A and B are shown apart, each in its own frame.
Chain A
Amino acid sequence: MIYKILIVDDEEAVRELFSELLEKEGHKTSVCATGEETLEMLKKENFDVVLLDIKLPGISGLEVLKNIRDAYKNLPVVMITGFGYDEDLIAKTKQFGCSGYIGKNMPISQIITTFKQFVKIAKEKV
């Protein structure tokens, strides 16, 4: 299955990396650096999955997730987490209906498998 994925992270190197990993798997990717940009982008284009960093400058990842849930009920959102991310915050994203997490502390192979699993589950739910 080929997906159109929107990658949101404030750090360019991380965005490029995810883009490279996912395109290697055959997916199509677009990138955004902020929450505001993400919401604009979603209005213009249709995406199958959003890969969203919890920590963002401006509107936080959590706010973006809430907005997406309100506007696009069935769009799977996979959160990017890492070492030292606030556990309470992570718990809240679950409450707001994120589809899963991939951690920056995971080995690459695991990132891809985990990502695939989450998207699969999210799509099945729809």
Chain B
Amino acid sequence: MLCLDNKENIIFCNKKFKEITGLKDSQIIGKNWLNVLFLNNDNNIQRDLLKAVMDDSMKYSRSKDFEVALLDNNGNEKFILWNLTPIQAENNQTNGNILAGHDITEAKERGSSLKNIDETLKNVFSKIKEYALYLINLDGNITYFGMGSEAMLGWDKQDILFKHVSILHNFKSSDGLHFILENIRNYGKYETELDLVTKNREMIPVILSAHQFLDLNGKLSGYIFIAKDITERRKLEFQVIQGEKLAALGQLSAGIAHEINNPLFVIAAKLELLKTEKLSAKVKNDLELINLQTERIRKLVDRILKFSRKKIPIFEPIQINDAIELVLPLLYYNNLSMVKIEIKKNFDVNMARVNGDLHQLQEVFLNLLINACQSMPNGGVVEITTTNIKNLYAQIQIKDTGSGISPGQLKNIFMPFFSTKSEGTGLGLSICHNIIKNHNGTIELNSEVNHGTVFTIKLPFI
């Protein structure tokens, strides 16, 4: 507490002021209040501001509040909230001022630590990319775009705020949004799976849960949306479904192949017996043709049954580089025109062994290499790269510079009977897929039309 005369000099101070500042009466009494308050503080801007506050208070005889940081006698900063009240004489002239100070240091610190928590939370939330949280008002315009929204959806806050939410929701008509909002109004919340649209017009599958946003009076003022990115889950689901489809197809095709087996055997055997008969040249020619076609069916049935048969791999430690090396000569026996095809090998010499069935793995490598060569009828380069990934697994990449596979075909590439080649059975890659799966490995591919395809196989080390 300070009392000032009409010249703004201190005529009285209480004990607390002396305690906080550590000043003696001699340093306080009779001195200009600003000189005392700013004794250890050279913040001239604040000083001028306070001068203005004082002048204003004197001029209009009004009470004013202001905040000043003081240094206590230990040099710690204290925040004091001052109330400046002019003392009025009978003639309405200002006679002096009373300054009543209140120490608000603690409250200030609490406030700033709260602010810190706020900042930290904000930081944490901004790093969560799987969740996007956004609000819309009753008109459907986005009023808040927080948490992982920017990261997930690619929009900057300032670009999307106050835009209609349909920019994010992949609804064909406004009915979709209306349906959700109707549900929230009726039941308080609504949850659904849908695709959100990113700034680059990509679709992100999410679980969207939407809630009412109420104002302080409990009146509906908008809607809160929380979207969880489920891209990874969708991928897994797709793989499981794909796996089930493969298994079902395998069973079905094995059943069919089996039924074809017996009649085919009889036809093939009878044809062979007929060869020994005395027949005209034309009949013999026709029989040869029938024989060739029968042979084709026989090979197809063989392939199908091989594909469906759950052959348990016989595991042994395998050096991947050697296994690939042994396959390469076989390429030349597969009626391929290898003339203009260059095979580059980038083998990681520091390769551990994988647990695998040598024949099955070689079947995979041969299959992929044949595919690579077939995709380059005019020649090109096949690059085989093996890499030891962190001593955890072997990565084998087979890259060609061939015709590539279109995105539409890519998603079906491991499906049985799906082929991009007119003479393919469509079983090669699904057999590869099964074999690698049985080895606890993964097989993936990237392809670009007219640029080529890269197959990547990962097999765990022993």
Contacts and interface: CB of A to CB of B under 8 A. Distances in A.
Of listed B254, B261, B265, B273, residue having the most chain A CB within 10 A: B265
Interface string B254-267: 10011001110110
Chain A contact residues, majority secondary structure: helix
B266 A84 contact: no
Contacts of A17: 265-266, 269-270
Contacts of B311: 87
Interface string B42-82: 00000000000000000000000000000000000000000
B305 interface: yes
B347 to A, nearest CB: 34
Interface in B392-434: none
Nearest to B263: A13
A107 B295 CA distance: 11
A25 interface: no
B309 A84 contact: yes
B258 A14 contact: no
A36 interface: no
B308 interface: yes
Nearest to B264: A104
A83 B269 contact: no
Contact of B305 (A21, A83, A108): A83
Interface in B252-303: 254, 257-258, 261-263, 265-266, 268-270, 272-273, 298, 301-302
A97 interface: no
A21 B276 CA distance: 13
Contacts of B269: 17, 21, 108, 111
A14 B273 contact: no
A37 interface: no
Given A84-B305, A84-B308, A87-B311, A104 B265 contact: yes
Given A14-B262, A84-B258, A20 B309 contact: no
A57 B263 CA distance: 17
Given A14-B266, A105-B298, A105-B302, A84 B261 contact: yes
Nearest to B270: A17
Nearest to B267: A13
A8 B148 CA distance: 71
B266 A13 contact: yes
B297 to A, nearest CB: 11
Given A84-B254, A87-B311, A13 B273 contact: no
B263 A84 contact: no
Interface of A: 11, 13-14, 17, 20-21, 82-84, 87, 104-105, 107-109, 111
Given A83-B302, A84-B257, A84-B309, 11 more contacts: A11-B262, A13-B266, A14-B266, A17-B266, A20-B273, A82-B262, A84-B254, A87-B309, A104-B262, A107-B272, A111-B269
24 contacts: A13-B266, A14-B262, A14-B265, A17-B266, A17-B270, A21-B273, A82-B262, A83-B257, A83-B261, A83-B301, A83-B302, A84-B254, A84-B305, A104-B261, A104-B265, A105-B265, A105-B298, A105-B302, A107-B268, A108-B268, A108-B269, A108-B272, A108-B273, A109-B272
